[in-house]
Chain A
Amino acid sequence: MHRKLLVATIAAGALLLAGCSSSTDDAATETATETVAEETAVEEEAVVAEDAAATVTADDSNCAAPENYCIGLVTDTGKIDDKSFNQAAWEGTLLAAEKLGAFTKYVETTDPKDYANNIAQFASKDYDTIVTVGFLMAEATTAAAAEYPNVNFIGVDQFQGAPIPNVAGLVFAEDKAGYAAGYLAGLMTKTNKIGSALGTDTVPPVKLFGEGFKKGALDANPEAEVTLVYHEPNNAFNDPEWGAAESRKQLDQGADVIFAAGGNTGNGGLIEIAKDPGAGTTVFCIGVDIDQYFTVPQAQKCLLTSAEKKLVAGTEELVLLSADGALPAGNFFGQTGIAPYHDTEAAVPADVQAKMVEILEGLQAGTIDTGCPACLDN
């Protein structure tokens, strides 16, 4: 009998741990998070106060009052200081709040099943604007928007199908960021071989990055040979060893600039390329989404730039628009571009840097054809 009891206990314990791991001892963790959030917010407000904005909202006890403005942010699973989407969206929110004299607070989501609850924490207190981060939260955001029609929602990286009056999705033209990165790769390659290790092409943004990259590289350097290699759809964004092995193979075949784009899969590629003896001098890697100089420090040596979605600026702009009562329902296209060169700056000739400025301006003005979104049909 004892044995059966033990087995049962262990099994139950394992399940419990597995459950906890990704979730939510809600009361405990969330209180802790909130305290931290409030401290941050308080510091922020001190700064605001110095700016002498007359209408600083001190707390969220009375968000419904017209003179008070409250902004809440719900992170995707992960921490607020993840040096990635969550952090960028929060920074943008803080910048906007500073200008508005608004009260801001965030909740960190530990398990996807808490999305709705975390959003409701803010919505039920009559927050004016709620920022939700990550495309995984799109569904929860849409549902909350229907439940709380008086609250404005900003969905970072959430594509909007049919526009909902109180939801703005911050999305990006990935092909433009990819094009800029590709153009740089085309100018930088000495072997005329440019490679890539990408998440799956069944996810449109990944394909836009890839196809845009190829077009940019070929426009810059028609002699170049550009290879696009996609992971299979299974585990597409969480297979760093595949990204590493694929990048290694392309380096062996003479590629000297490689675009590694696809979550952890791409990060594995970046880390592998940085191990190459020529990293930063003859061999370069290009990251994706945000400035990966900070998210993958192991890759700093080879990291030329990252095909970047300007999340901070985009979030700030949308929050300000929302506060103005001019929330653009539907999709709002944020800026894209490339991240600073950082450690590889010396390796990028001045004329290349100048040319890139020109290309980025052209992309922003819409005078450059990236071949997308038509490229999705390839």
Chain B
Amino acid sequence: MNARWAYILGGFIVAGIIVSYVMDANRTESVLSFSLRYAVPLILAAMVGIVCERSGVINIGIEGQMLMSAFAGFFGAALTGNLIAGAMIGVGTGMIMGAFLAVGSVTWKMDQIIAGTIINILATGLTSFFYAQGYVLPGVMPTVAVPLLKDIPLLGPVLFNNGLYTYAAILIAVILWVLLFKTIWGLRTRSVGEKPSASDTSGINVPRTRFINVTLAGGIAGLAGAYLAIEAAGTFERGFTAGRGFTALAIMIFGAWNPLGAMFAAIFFGLTQGVASQLQSDAVFEIPPQFVNMLPYVLTIVLLAAVSGRVSPPAAVGKPYEKD
């Protein structure tokens, strides 16, 4: 997204939040908490997309990777009686699903869209087939309040009084930004996604870089799935990721393949959802709920249209690398 537009938009949003906070502090805080909560799985899933596409691999299997990890994480936690073990099983499953995509799209040079689609179908099938009723999580993930910071008005209750996954999502976005743009790994990753032949010439092992990155990204998808099942919803249901993996791809584009951009885009999307739900519950205007529920998507499309053409994907994305 064009930087100037982003700053103007951000300025308006911050001003709006402050005005709203002065008018009704509790309402503003609760809506913002809702927005952040809505954004967490989207942030994580968008990071998966960014790591993969920056390495030159399209991952439309994020939804399936999340669903599978949520399934494994939930039943892992229920069967072992340990929430942390469940989360680790979820992340591990995500990495296996990531490796699956890597084998298909990097090692076998399959069409990447097909490889991702297989993951989605496979995940829907397996999790529906093995789904069993009557399992319950052994407990509830604790909320961790950051000392001192939690007392800041507005920001404290919203940002610094959350579950561990929320902090992890924000940290991962920041760390990924540093890694991608300030480290050798990042430079290599981006070069592999932009011009793999040049990277190859300079001695980078293109398939290996892609393979490792896609597999690791799967781990982040695993974390997103574990978050949904273990912390957020507290349950697993068939297909309950409800399209978040696909929304995340839109957010990745909205954030111009930049981890911080995508994080803010996800929070913005969460905010539109929060405002839409609050408009419904306040019923200040007699707007039909269907219309209100449409607003987040319409706003996102309008903004995308306003800034599109200025963002371009990594040049080599979607193309299996063939040595000439």
Residues of A within 8 A of B (CB): 3, 6-7, 10-11, 14-15, 17-22, 79, 82-83, 195, 200-202, 227-235, 238-246, 248-250, 252-254, 264, 267-268, 271-272, 275, 297-298
**Is B31 located at the chain interface by the 8 A CB criterion?**
yes
**Is B238 located at the chain interface by the 8 A CB criterion?**
yes
Query: Contact check: which of A11, A228, A231, A235 meets B281 at CB < 8 Å?
Result: A228
Tell me whether A228 and B33 are in contact in the complex, defined as CB-CB below 8 angstroms, given that A79-B133, A298-B234 are known contacts: no
Contact, CB under 8 Å: B234 / A252: no
**Is B164 located at the chain interface by the 8 A CB criterion?**
no
- If over half of B's interface residues share one DSSP class (helix, strand or loop), that class is named, otherwise mixed; here it is helix
Contacts of A246 in B (CB 8 A): 34, 277
Contact, CB under 8 Å: B30 / A253: yes
Tell me whether A238 and B129 are in contact in the complex, defined as CB-CB below 8 angstroms, given that A7-B108, A230-B280 are known contacts: no
Q: How large is the interface on B (under 10, 10 to 19, 20 to 34, 35 or more residues)?
A: 35 or more
Q: List 28 A-B contacts (CB under 8 A).
A: A6-B108, A7-B110, A11-B114, A14-B121, A18-B124, A19-B125, A21-B126, A79-B133, A83-B133, A228-B281, A228-B283, A229-B280, A233-B290, A234-B243, A238-B238, A238-B242, A239-B242, A240-B234, A241-B240, A242-B242, A245-B37, A246-B277, A252-B30, A253-B30, A264-B237, A267-B235, A267-B237, A271-B234
- Expressed in whole angstroms, the Cα–Cα distance for A241 and B165 within the complex equals 14
**Is B27 located at the chain interface by the 8 A CB criterion?**
yes
- Expressed in whole angstroms, the Cα–Cα distance for A347 and B323 within the complex equals 73
Q: Which of A19, A227, A240, A297 has the most CB of B within 10 A?
A: A240
Contact, CB under 8 Å: A227 / B235: no
Nearest CB of A to B122, in Å: 4
Contact, CB under 8 Å: A241 / B108: no
- Expressed in whole angstroms, the Cα–Cα distance for A246 and B37 within the complex equals 10
- Expressed in whole angstroms, the Cα–Cα distance for A15 and B140 within the complex equals 36
Contacts of B290 in A (CB 8 A): 200-202, 232-233
- Expressed in whole angstroms, the Cα–Cα distance for A79 and B132 within the complex equals 10
Query: Contact check: which of B104, B136, B137, B234 meets A272 at CB < 8 Å?
Result: B234
Tell me whether A82 and B133 are in contact in the complex, defined as CB-CB below 8 angstroms, given that A21-B126, A201-B290, A231-B293 are known contacts: yes
Q: Which of B134, B283, B293 has the most CB of A within 10 A?
A: B293
In chain B between 221 and 245, which residues have their CB closer than 8 angstroms to a CB of chain A? 228, 232-235, 237-240, 242-243
Tell me whether A232 and B294 are in contact in the complex, defined as CB-CB below 8 angstroms, given that A10-B118, A201-B289, A297-B136 are known contacts: yes
Contact, CB under 8 Å: A252 / B133: no
- Expressed in whole angstroms, the Cα–Cα distance for A195 and B281 within the complex equals 8
Residues of B within 8 A of A (CB): 26-27, 29-31, 33-34, 37-38, 41, 104, 108, 110, 114, 118, 121-122, 124-126, 128-129, 133-134, 136-137, 140, 228, 232-235, 237-240, 242-243, 274, 277-278, 280-283, 288-290, 293-294
Contacts of A201 in B (CB 8 A): 288-290
- Expressed in whole angstroms, the Cα–Cα distance for A83 and B134 within the complex equals 10
Contacts of A271 in B (CB 8 A): 233-235
Query: Contact check: which of B27, B118, B280 meets A14 at CB < 8 Å?
Result: B118
Contacts of A17 in B (CB 8 A): 122, 125-126, 129
Contact, CB under 8 Å: B293 / A245: no
Shortest Cβ distance from A255 into B: residue: B281
Contact, CB under 8 Å: B240 / A249: no
Shortest Cβ distance from A227 into B: residue: B281
Contact, CB under 8 Å: B128 / A298: no
Q: Which of A79, A243, A248, A264 has the most CB of B within 10 A?
A: A264
Contact, CB under 8 Å: B293 / A232: yes
Contact, CB under 8 Å: B235 / A11: no
Contacts of A238 in B (CB 8 A): 237-240, 242
- Beyond the given A11-B114, A21-B126, A195-B281, could you list 15 further A-B residue pairs with CB under 8 A, ordered by the A residue number? A14-B118, A15-B121, A19-B125, A20-B129, A21-B128, A227-B282, A231-B293, A235-B239, A239-B242, A244-B232, A249-B34, A252-B26, A252-B33, A297-B134, A298-B136
Shortest Cβ distance from A10 into B: residue: B118
- Expressed in whole angstroms, the Cα–Cα distance for A64 and B232 within the complex equals 54
Contact, CB under 8 Å: A14 / B233: no
Contacts of A264 in B (CB 8 A): 235, 237, 240
Nearest CB of A to B72, in Å: 16
- Expressed in whole angstroms, the Cα–Cα distance for A82 and B26 within the complex equals 40
Contact, CB under 8 Å: A241 / B233: yes
Contact, CB under 8 Å: A21 / B293: no
Query: Contact check: which of B124, B136, B281 meets A21 at CB < 8 Å?
Result: B124
- Expressed in whole angstroms, the Cα–Cα distance for A230 and B288 within the complex equals 10
Contacts of B30 in A (CB 8 A): 249, 252-253
- Expressed in whole angstroms, the Cα–Cα distance for A229 and B30 within the complex equals 15
Contact, CB under 8 Å: A244 / B33: no
Q: Which of A79, A83, A246 has the most CB of B within 10 A?
A: A246
Contact, CB under 8 Å: A235 / B243: yes
Nearest CB of A to B300, in Å: 13
Contacts of B41 in A (CB 8 A): 241
Contact, CB under 8 Å: B280 / A228: yes
Contacts of B136 in A (CB 8 A): 297-298
Contact, CB under 8 Å: B233 / A244: yes
Contact, CB under 8 Å: B281 / A245: no
Contact, CB under 8 Å: B129 / A21: yes
Contact, CB under 8 Å: A245 / B34: yes
Nearest CB of B to A211, in Å: 12
Nearest CB of A to B295, in Å: 10
Tell me whether A241 and B124 are in contact in the complex, defined as CB-CB below 8 angstroms, given that A252-B33, A271-B233, A275-B234 are known contacts: no
Contacts of B274 in A (CB 8 A): 249
Shortest Cβ distance from A83 into B: residue: B133
Contacts of B232 in A (CB 8 A): 241, 244-245
Contacts of A21 in B (CB 8 A): 124-126, 128-129
Contacts of B282 in A (CB 8 A): 227
Contact, CB under 8 Å: A249 / B242: no
- Expressed in whole angstroms, the Cα–Cα distance for A227 and B240 within the complex equals 25
Nearest CB of B to A21, in Å: 4
Nearest CB of A to B71, in Å: 12
Nearest CB of A to B34, in Å: 4
